[in-house]
Structure 1
Amino acid sequence: MKDLALLIGNGVNAISKGITWDNLLDNLLAFCKDDCSIKDKQKPFPLFYEEIFLNAFKLKRIGKELALKEFIAQNVSRIEANEIHELIRNIAPAHVITTNYDFLLEGSEPQKNDGLVYENLYSIFRRYEIGTTTFWHIHGDCRSPMSINLGYEHYGGQLQKMRNYAASVPDYKSNRIVKRSLVKRLQQGKEFEIIQSWIDLFFVKDIHIIGLTLDFVETDLWWLLTYRARQLLYKQKIKFTNNITYYIPEAFVKTACFKLDLLKANGVEIKVINKAHGISYYKEILSSI
């Protein structure tokens, strides 16, 4: 086992056969019999999801949002595994954080959620322990369709929960978690014996961000990176020495230059890989960490 954390996005799935995000949008529109909502790259996906959902509800094409999210879970489950999923399991990192809803990284669907707090909608504690690796599905998963984070409202609620956990007293009934903010725990300067949430990892473990576009619609992750940087550089009340590294193919650097500038400002190291996005690209990254 390697004592590090990987933050893995849909890029690892994108090299597999199966449904793409563009396919998913087309399927959503067809499922809702929606001839009003028009796909456009200028529409941020979380807001476009809200447009699809609200139009479908107004036109009585669906009764509950659960039907839409169950449909999404079924579609996402059609993505096929590839050798990178297996390679990640063989590396056996201590933690795998993922924005993906499927269980391709685990290799099979887990039987139970091992989170310290039961969550139906949000994903602050959602985790699955398999072997020596803890898998954190931070945007929900297919076992619990309502947890799948797609819409603007869901992103807003997730961000609210994240900030409450980090900066104030967590408002959970569970007696299995420490009822102090993450900041207070970090200020005590004690080593974290128990990782309660994936949010903890951003302050105590080296994190390698792989296959994640990190579009600006990912408001939860951008907030966390900014919050971490402010604690370290501006408020300076917390000492932590972990590193966060973002990997990107060289061919994408020019179009992503503004995003890379923002990541650097937030204390994230950029590593450019001189390979096209694909199997060999991920193999080179994983062999280097």
Structure 2
Amino acid sequence: MNNLILLIGNDINNISSGQSWKDLLQDIITFCHTGDCVELDDKKPFPLLYEEIFLTAIKREKLRERELKAFIAIKAAEIKANGIHAAIRALKPAHILTTNYEFTLEGRTPYENTSLINEKFYSIFRRYTMDDIHYWHIHGDCLNPMSINLGFEHYGGQLQLMRNYVVSGTFYSSKEVPKESLLRRIHAKQVYYHSWIDFFFTHDIHIFGLSLDFVETDLWWLLTYRARQKFHHKNVPVHNTLYYYIPEELVPGSKFKLDLLAANDVQVISLPGKDKLAYYTSIIQRIGKRKSS
């Protein structure tokens, strides 16, 4: 059985020609007519910058967030696929988790949502299945613009539901959603992998193309809670390994983050990364060899 699981971020899209993340930010500011008072600054965490743009816009234009997110969904959907996306699919992983909103990893827009429930806003169960690969869009997707996770408030709501799912149990009206917490279900050996969160406690995950900036509060909480469960609480066994890939040229300047990843039981793997295409090709080849061994 193929149990290969990947968590992939936006950097693989940077191989493709087209719009950069900074270009998208500028387009959002232009769309909201806030260019005269909202300044792009690397010191501003993006979820709070998004709130600044949106709140400034609604004070002036009475802009609806649905309109803004629909605009962002259109822009994200314009991202073009490249050879790395196809090479990832060729690995035939069982599951691909991604923070990306568009469907370049799938290779085409999915026609069927295979989630346990149809989420409109948050993304605990958001899944599409194509060619025997399950794709989990953990920060929302372009087909559902209001699910796109950008602002501080959205991150907070996502984290609240994640913690309920793992620690205290869920309160969804659907009878299909298990009410017991993930921890209780792991203890009872009743994990059915309805959510992407399940894999963080049960399966090896290879993480690449993801900067894991500290604004990703939902993922950092999950890493921290998993590590606490393994080394401190010890309510359930945690035997899986998380692998984080980083270009070796970025290692010296990323020591602060890599130290935190190590403390959270994440194994860091650095590879030559000056050539982005060669870097991701080497990651895929390395994972492919591990899979076949």
Structure 2 match to 1:138 = 138
Name the structure 1 match of 2:210. Answer: 212
Unaligned runs of 5+ in 2: 288-293
Whole-angstrom distance in 2 between the partners of 1:279 and 1:2: 26
Say whether the 8 Å CA contact 2:48–2:152 is kept in structure 1: yes
Query: Of Structure 1 and Structure 2, which has the larger fraction of its residues in helix?
Result: 2
Give me the whole-angstrom Cα distance separating, in 2, the residues matched to 1:277 and 1:266: 29
Counterpart pick for 2:230 among 220, 229, 232? 232
In the superposition, the TM-score normalised over structure 2's length comes to 0.95
The corresponding residue for 1:275 is 273
Gaps of 5+ in 1: none
Deviations 1:90-112 (A, max 9, x none): 11100100000000000111112
Deviations 1:61-118 (A, max 9, x none): x531011001111111111110000011111100100000000000111112211022
On the 8 A contact 1:117/1:172 being kept in 2, the answer is no
CA displacement at 1:136 relative to structure 2:
0.3
1:2 is displaced (CA, Å) by: 3.4
Classify the secondary structure of the residue corresponding to 2:51: helix
Tell me the TM-score normalized by structure 1.
0.97
- Amino acid corresponding to residue 38 of structure 2 in structure 1: S
Aligned twin of 1:104: 104
Shift of 1:277: 4.8
Q: Would you say how many aligned residue pairs link Structure 1 and Structure 2?
A: 286
Between the aligned partners of 2:273 and 2:80, the Cα distance in structure 1 is 23
Shift of the 179–255 alpha-carbon distance from structure 1 to 2, 3 Å rule, reads same
User: Which of 238, 241, 244 is equivalent to 1:243?
Assistant: 241
CA distance in 2 between counterparts of 1:75 and 1:218 reads 21
When structure 1 is superposed on structure 2, of 177-186 and 38-47 the one drifting more is 177-186
Residue in structure 1 matched with residue 60 of structure 2 by the alignment: 59
- Judged with a 3 Å threshold, the aligned counterparts in structure 2 of structure 1 residues 191 and 169 are, in CA distance, closer, same or farther, namely closer
Q: Does the 8 Å CA contact 1:2/1:91 hold for their aligned counterparts?
A: no
**Does the aligned pair in 2 maintain the 1:116–1:125 contact within 8 Å?**
yes
Partner of 1:46: 47
| Structure 2 counterpart of 1:226, one-letter code | T
Question: Aligned partners of 1:273, 1:127: CA distance in 2, in Å?
Answer: 30
Separation in structure 1 between the aligned mates of residue 101 and residue 227 of structure 2, nearest angstrom: 28
Q: Report the counterpart of residue 156 of structure 1 in structure 2.
A: 156
Q: Is the 8 A contact 2:97 2:137 kept in 1?
A: yes
